[in-house]
Amino acid sequence: MKRSAFWKTTTELLRYKKQLAVAVTGALVSAACFGAGLGMLLPVFSLFFDTELADGEHPLTKLIDGALVNEDAYTWQVDLAAWLNSHIPTDIFWSFVLIMGVIATFTVIGSIGRYVHQLVSITITQQIAVAWRDRLFRKLVDAPVSYFLGQNASDHASRAMFDTGVLSRGHLAVLGKALPEILKGLAAVTLALCLNYKLTLIALIAAPLSGIMLYKFGRVIERASRRALQQQAGMLKTVNEVLGALHVIKTHGAEGYERRRFRRLNRSLFDEQMKMRQARALASPVIETLGLFFVLAAALVAAWFVFTQGVPPTTFLLVLIALGAAGASLKPLTALHTQIKEADAAAKRLIQSAGIEVEPISLSDRINLPTLPRHHESIEFQAVSYTYLDQPTPAINDVTLKVQHGQTIAIVGGNGSGKTTLLNLLPRLTSPNPGRVLIDGTDIAGVNLKAFRRQLAVVPQHSVLFEGTIADNIAYGQLDAKHDDIIAAAKAAFAHEFVTTLTDGYDTLLGEGGSGLSGGQKQRLCIARAILRDPAILILDEATSQIDADSEAKINRALDSFRAGRTTFIIAHRLSTVIDCDMIVVMDAGQIVDRGTHTELLNRCQTYQTLTHTQLQPAQA
């Protein structure tokens, strides 16, 4: 039988063998003390109910002699009976006090065992949750950008944050609750079997039927739980979208629309939770009712033996108590089963995310793949094509382009012409299919990716800043950068002048996304980050789009000097950026329609002429 996703994840418990052994030992001690304490009720019943005693005979002495000594008794059994009889108080009341003391001792020892078991179980399950979150985050960070182009990123974030919690509760249900309750139930059943196996077996007929009912309820809960987790992911996506675009929502008066959209998602989640509610509500009373019926049947059998066969009632009474205790200890398994089914839905989603293909940047890849020398000759796109997931036509189709080292290339075209898609192939954010990208004649598909990317710097259209200091953001990815080099890069990007006006200067902490800075200031920090990398290849994706004309002029002068000895690719919407480039590449519908200088293209390329009038803007005044 194929294991479910949840039970596959439970193998991770074995990574903590020593802690697991401690937890199991604690549960065993607790269960043993529970069974022993339960068994001590037999001498209590003897004290109270055994009236068939010879003159001067002690009830406990009679019980011990009857239980341990018979014609086939071993010497050690006889010796044990003698030792027990010698330590029994002659006064029945003090005998009762002794028994209560023994029960109290078992209770204390069992409680200590349960405490150790619970403490270690919680520790193990939390460690596993931490490991899962780390694993998923590594997968998400190491996954190729192309994977998320057709995926709901918020769904994967929801899995890392929420599904791991559901899975952790499932692990705790197994290790922290199911294990000790099962052991307690086994201890009680073992006691009942020892006392009267026939009566016990009659009562145990209920177990298979209860298991079938639990399976049926569990299937319903698993399906509803999986859909509920998907709804949670959708809600997280909506909340992220709304919080990231509040200014647009408010200026367009769309608050009501967003409230209604969230309310629909919230209601869908509620509906799925209600489907689980019915199965959860039915499971416990159905199983309890079945258990009660079979205990009643066992009680009828016991009554028949006592009332018609003259069997002493104390043994049968203790059997019924033991079976009741076993049922009480196993009763929580009804709720635990539903919890495990919820965890199974989460486990399926987590295993799916853990199976994401990642880029070849692991240590073994870095060792096995050659390192590309610093770019110094040419960059060539050889008949490259790329099609996005679920798209019928290629975003770029059979594009060939060769650029010499040190050249500055502008790529222009209308929206959807393939500009960004083409340049995404260069740092291997996506891979051509078919086609090749060659650096100095070497196919970058076969080189050390991590080392190769150190040769590149990318300044995106939308500024990307992280929570931390300004210095941390400029030196992002370069933990060994010197402070003087950070300042020099900031000066080159004309960021130093505004950074020094801040109270904490380069130690100023930035909020999420660089909140508190203007768009131009954010972009200059991103350009400073690129300068600090000292790249051989520079990619500017409309890097000056958020900067005023004065800042643009300064930055262009800085970049003119910085571009020397580097190959630069520019996606731009301003004439001032493209006019002086060594080559302008014109793209349309995923293909290169022409290439040349600004003057050459104005004279012969109708597409470029149209772009200069409609999209390539003059520098802002």
User: What string of DSSP letters covers 340-365?
Assistant: HHHHHHHHHHHHHHHT----S-SHHH
pLDDT (mean) for 181-198: 79
Whole-angstrom Cα distance, residue 321 to residue 307? Answer: 19
Q: Residue 80 — pLDDT band, cuts 50, 70, 90?
A: low
pLDDT of residue 145: 77
CB 489 within 8 A of CB 531: yes
pLDDT (mean) for 293-308: 70
Residues sharing a CB contact under 8 Å with residue 49, sequence separation 6 or more, in sequence order: 313, 314
pLDDT of residue 404: 94
Whole-angstrom Cα distance, residue 482 to residue 60? Answer: 84
Mean pLDDT rounded to a whole number for the chain: 78
Residues sharing a CB contact under 8 Å with residue 352, sequence separation 6 or more, in sequence order: none
Task: State what percent of residues in the chain have pLDDT above 70.
Answer: 72
Residue 330 has pLDDT above 70, yes or no: no
CB 564 within 8 A of CB 533: no
Integer CA distances (angstroms), 486 to 492, 520, 524, in order: 10, 19, 13
pLDDT (mean) for 188-203: 74
pLDDT of residue 621: 43
pLDDT of residue 158: 78
More confident residue, 533 or 265: 533
User: What string of DSSP letters covers 12-33?
Assistant: GGGGGHHHHHHHHHHHHHHHHH
pLDDT of residue 334: 64
The winner for highest mean pLDDT among 192-201, 310-319, 328-337, 464-473 is 464-473
CB 556 within 8 A of CB 576: yes
pLDDT (mean) for 187-202: 76
Tokens coding 497:
């002048």
Could you read off the pLDDT of 335-378 as tens digits, one per residue? 676 777 778 888 888 888 888 887 776 666 666 788 899 999 99
Could you read off the pLDDT of 515-524 as tens digits, one per residue? 778 877 888 8
pLDDT of residue 572: 77
Residue 478 has pLDDT above 70, yes or no: yes
Provide the residue ranges of all domains of the chain, joining segments of one domain with +: 5-354, 406-424+454-614
Lowest-confidence region among 118-127, 171-180, 306-315, 388-397: 306-315
pLDDT of residue 206: 53
Phi then psi dihedrals of residue 493, to 5 deg: -95, 5
Three-state secondary structure call for residue 439: strand
CB 428 within 8 A of CB 438: no
pLDDT of residue 88: 72
pLDDT of residue 25: 93
Sort residue 40 into left (φ over 0), alpha (ψ -120 to 50) or beta: alpha
User: What string of DSSP letters covers 85-132?
Assistant: HHTS-SSHHHHHHHHHHHHHHHHHHHHHHHHHHHHHHHHHHHHHHHHH
Q: Which of 156, 274, 284 minimizes the C-alpha distance to 221? A: 274
5-354 and 406-424+454-614 have identical folds: no
pLDDT of residue 46: 67
More confident residue, 300 or 56: 300
User: What string of DSSP letters covers 444-503?
Assistant: GGGS-HHHHHTTEEEE-SS----SEEHHHHHTTT-TT--HHHHHHHHHHTT-HHHHTTST
Q: Which of 239, 118, 236, 226 minimizes the C-alpha distance to 166? A: 226
Q: Kind of pairing, strands 567-571 and 537-541?
A: parallel
Tokens coding 532:
């600090």
Lowest-confidence region among 191-195, 247-251, 369-373: 247-251
Tokens coding 160:
């890392």
For domain 5-354, give the CATH superfamily: ABC transporter type 1, transmembrane domain (1.20.1560.10)
pLDDT (mean) for 486-494: 89
Residue 545 has pLDDT above 70, yes or no: no
Could you read off the pLDDT of 523-541 as tens digits, one per residue? 888 888 888 988 999 998 8
Q: What angle do CA 137, 226, 154 make, to 5 degrees?
A: 35
pLDDT of residue 386: 92
Q: Residue 482 — pLDDT band, cuts 50, 70, 90?
A: very high
pLDDT (mean) for 168-182: 85
Task: State what percent of residues in the chain have pLDDT above 90.
Answer: 17
More confident residue, 122 or 2: 122
pTM score, whole prediction: 0.70
Residue 207 has pLDDT above 70, yes or no: no
CB 509 within 8 A of CB 465: no
Residue 235 has pLDDT above 80, yes or no: no
Other CB atoms within 10 Å distance of the CB of residue 204: 17
More confident residue, 340 or 491: 491
Q: What is the DSSP letter of 184?
A: H
Tokens coding 520:
């131009």
Lowest-confidence region among 315-324, 405-414, 454-463, 606-615: 315-324
pLDDT of residue 138: 83
Q: Residue 422 — pLDDT band, cuts 50, 70, 90?
A: very high
Residue 193 has pLDDT above 60, yes or no: yes
pLDDT of residue 586: 92
User: What letters, b where the CB count within 10 A reaches 16 and e where it falls short, cover 360-386?
Assistant: beeeeeeeebeebeebeeebbbbebbb
Whole-angstrom Cα distance, residue 165 to residue 546? Answer: 41
For domain 406-424+454-614, give the CATH superfamily: P-loop containing nucleotide triphosphate hydrolases (3.40.50.300)
Q: Residue 574 — pLDDT band, cuts 50, 70, 90?
A: confident
Residue 26 has pLDDT above 90, yes or no: yes
Residue 151 has pLDDT above 50, yes or no: yes
Q: Residue 547 — pLDDT band, cuts 50, 70, 90?
A: low
Q: Residue 551 — pLDDT band, cuts 50, 70, 90?
A: low
pLDDT of residue 100: 83
Residue 220 has pLDDT above 70, yes or no: no
Q: What is the DSSP letter of 161?
A: I
Could you read off the pLDDT of 397-411 as tens digits, one per residue? 999 999 999 999 999
Residues sharing a CB contact under 8 Å with residue 227, sequence separation 6 or more, in sequence order: 272
Q: Which of 33, 327, 323, 336 minimizes the C-alpha distance to 179? A: 336
